[in-house]
Structure 1
Amino acid sequence: MPRNRYYTGPARSNFDGLRFFSPGQPLPDRGFGDLWKWHRSGERAKWPRHVDVTPAIPPERTDAPRLTMVGHASVLIQVAGLNILTDPVWSDRASPVRFAGPKRVTAPGVRFDDLPKIDAVLLSHNHYDHLDLATLRRLHAAHAPLMIMPLGTDATVRRAVRGARVAVADWREAIALGEGAQVTLTPANHWSSRGLRDRRMALWSGHWIDTPKGSIWFAGDTGYGDGAIFHDIRARHGAPDVALIPIGAYAPTWFMANQHVGPEEAVQIFKDVGTRQALGIHWGTFQLTDEPREEPVELLDRALAAEGIDPDRFRAFAPGDVHASA
């Protein structure tokens, strides 16, 4: 009988006693037959081996929101005197091994040694392009941040990062950050695994950051589904001042639609949550799927134009880019 190696607890609205799931949404599970069909298609675009990046040097602290793109889903969020990292990956590969797997095309948009003192790390789930143990060890040694993550994800972190300060929560539960700020985990339509037999045994999430200086929502990885989770987020939290919304890793859509959004669906999420400003993440750093590297940027511009939305309100966030609010 299968055993959950990450989490033990009673069944709940998003957990059946063995595996987590998104209630009312299609499962993203794919078998080896689907994987073989995808990789036989031969439609994978060729990416450049390297794209130049000019790294940013962030300040030590700021009150007004300032976000700096590191790459993929890694963003440095500075707000209300706090320094927060989302899904930090400074490694060269998004992989369980150093010699194979998706390799960085862009250097980090902030050099590790240029990071300010990091107070908190927000982890969305345990996939290798989001939970990088080598980076977490470096962060713990240099900064000892509080690491906030969904149920079961902590099992991987605790084993690998001895002495780490870890806080764990379910969807819609909040964790205090201090300085009048807190993080609430938000639902996402995704999945988790670190190996072949642990699918959906740890939870996945987004993170809503509430501070006296504004609100920032990091969506994590998600498919769109029927859109219910995004309407619920708006109803519970209001409209965020800034939203970090994924726009890449969507092709082929028949394989990816239940776990990732493309630019058109990202624009729909932008509308659903009512954010004033969105930044497109999860593109252009690691080639995980078939689309050309620049296609998410082009399709985002088209989708915004079709909806009559000012492109300055939702722009693709590239490594080294900075978004600062007054």
Structure 2
Amino acid sequence: MTITRRKLLASVGGLAAAAGLSAIWASRMTNYDGPVSDHFDGKIFFDPDGAPPRSLGEVLRWQFGGGRTREVWPDWVENEFADTPPAKVEGTGVRFSYVGHASWLIQTAGINILFDPVWSDRVSPFSFAGPKRHAAPGIAFDKLPKIDIVLVSHGHYDHLDLPTLSKLSAKFAPRVITPLGNDVTMKSADSTIKAEAYDWTDRVELGNGIAVTLVPTRHWTARGLFDRNKSLWASFVLETPAGKIYIVGDSGYGDGLHFRRVRETHGAIRLAILPIGAYEPRWFMKDQHMNPEDAVKALGDCGAQQALASHHSTFQLTDEAIDGPVKGLAAACSAAELPNEKFMALKPGQVVEI
């Protein structure tokens, strides 16, 4: 079948119009309304020690500027592992199950916690376009135990997945802990989502002696073209019987200040979950996503005894190969003379217990 230039332009124009309408809709949603602070000017959140998001012009330069090398990912990768978690983990241990990308199930002290849960096939405002899943979740949704708590780090589609949150709400009605403003996004889509919004440094009791504190991270957020940083982003320090767990959804490295502050403020960290993927090209990504070398430095800065790698091998958001982050982590650990068990990259469905 021959596609005429006019039909092609109409098709592209239709997609562009749909994207524009989606962005306008997202930007017109009710945004956070609260007092001015050292990281909120009354309209926009900002990181005094971070970097602003890239401009639209820089996005276009990356996408269409020429000289770009985008590695081709396999359409689908069959998982080697599939986890069926226990109903609960009691006592002083913590069980970590890697779902994929930035999603984790953390079980401790009888509490089941999901971090940035995404079971959708795409991380996009569209069901037919945008980054698609290249591997199944390491836990089938119907194999999940009762979920008590959900932690959502920020509003980007690969971290705040509304269809998944709605399914979790319908099945388990968990508390959803998230930074300021993201609760509006969730409740606007589904009023049954039990979202609670908090600021940086807020500490939230979760039950059974478990608590979580929101901490600054070097990132930003948006769900459309015109709503940048109208909600807040954060990482989490989770207090467990086995020690403190530092969970990072997305972060650039910068000069390591954010990671050193976690060590200075929260003391000994038992384990850190650190992102290692979605980092190429570096000129565009370095302020918002760490590469494996950055992640190894972040591990040293936060002082964690051990780290688990996150944010890799599931959705192609940037230009590196599907196995680039994991291979890069092995090389970075070798260069830093770190043993393999110090910073591990799990595959979906794999489990670590401490």
* Both structures adopt the same fold (TM-score exceeding 0.5): yes
What are the residue-to-residue correspondences of 1:9-48 with 2, within 5 Å? 9-27=34-52, 29-40=53-64, 41-48=67-74
After alignment, is 209-218 or 119-128 more displaced?
209-218
Question: In the alignment, is residue 272 of structure 1 matched against residue 301 of structure 2?
Answer: yes
Partner of 1:229: 258
Q: Is the 8 A contact 1:185 1:208 kept in 2?
A: yes
Q: Is the 8 A contact 2:29 2:185 kept in 1?
A: no
CA–CA separation in structure 2 for the residues paired with 1:216 and 1:246? 14
Question: In the alignment, is residue 58 of structure 1 matched against residue 111 of structure 2?
Answer: no
| Aligned-residue offset at 1:164 | 2.2
What are the residue-to-residue correspondences of 1:137-156 with 2, within 5 Å? 137-156=166-185
Q: Is the 8 A contact 1:69 1:322 kept in 2?
A: yes
| Aligned-residue offset at 1:15 | 1.0
Look up the SS of the partner of 1:35 in the other structure.
helix
Q: How much identity, in percent, do the aligned residues show? A: 48
| Aligned-residue offset at 1:31 | 2.1
1:6 to 5, 9, 31: 31
Q: Is the 8 A contact 1:80 1:213 kept in 2?
A: no
- Could you give the per-residue CA deviations for residues 244-267 of structure 1, whole angstroms, max 9, x where no partner exists? 100000000100011110000000
| Aligned-residue offset at 1:9 | 1.4
Partner of 2:219: 190
Look up the SS of the partner of 1:209 in the other structure.
strand
| Aligned-residue offset at 1:4 | 8.5
Question: In the alignment, is residue 114 of structure 1 matched against residue 138 of structure 2?
Answer: no
Q: 1:264 to 1:161 in 2, by over 3 A?
A: same
- Could you give the per-residue CA deviations for residues 127-166 of structure 1, whole angstroms, max 9, x where no partner exists? 1010110000000011100000000111001112222222
Partner of 1:79: 108
| Aligned-residue offset at 1:220 | 1.6
CA–CA separation in structure 1 for the residues paired with 2:184 and 2:148? 21
Question: What amino acid maps onto 2:146 in structure 1?
Answer: K
2:154 to 107, 116, 125: 125
Question: What amino acid maps onto 1:88 in structure 2?
Answer: P
CA–CA separation in structure 2 for the residues paired with 1:140 and 1:205? 22
1:210 to 216, 239, 264: 239
Partner of 2:334: 305
| Aligned-residue offset at 1:3 | 8.4
Mark the runs of 5 or more structure 2 residues left unpaired by the alignment: 1-26
CA–CA separation in structure 2 for the residues paired with 1:39 and 1:197? 19
Q: Which has the larger radius of gyration?
A: 2
- Could you give the per-residue CA deviations for residues 62-110 of structure 1, whole angstroms, max 9, x where no partner exists? 1311100101110000111110000000000001111011010010000
Q: Is the 8 A contact 1:191 1:203 kept in 2?
A: yes
- Could you give the per-residue CA deviations for residues 203-253 of structure 1, whole angstroms, max 9, x where no partner exists? 000111102333211112111122111111101111321111000000001
CA–CA separation in structure 2 for the residues paired with 1:196 and 1:32? 9
| Aligned-residue offset at 1:5 | 3.4
| Aligned-residue offset at 1:25 | 2.1
CA–CA separation in structure 2 for the residues paired with 1:91 and 1:288? 15
Question: TM-score if structure 1 supplies the norm length?
Answer: 0.96
Question: What amino acid maps onto 1:66 in structure 2?
Answer: R
What are the residue-to-residue correspondences of 1:162-173 with 2, within 5 Å? 162-173=191-202
CA–CA separation in structure 1 for the residues paired with 2:75 and 2:317? 14
Question: TM-score if structure 2 supplies the norm length?
Answer: 0.89
Aligned length: 323
Q: 1:206 to 1:70 in 2, by over 3 A?
A: same
- Could you give the per-residue CA deviations for residues 251-293 of structure 1, whole angstroms, max 9, x where no partner exists? 0010001111000000011001111111100000000000001
CA–CA separation in structure 2 for the residues paired with 1:142 and 1:214? 30
Question: What amino acid maps onto 1:8 in structure 2?
Answer: D
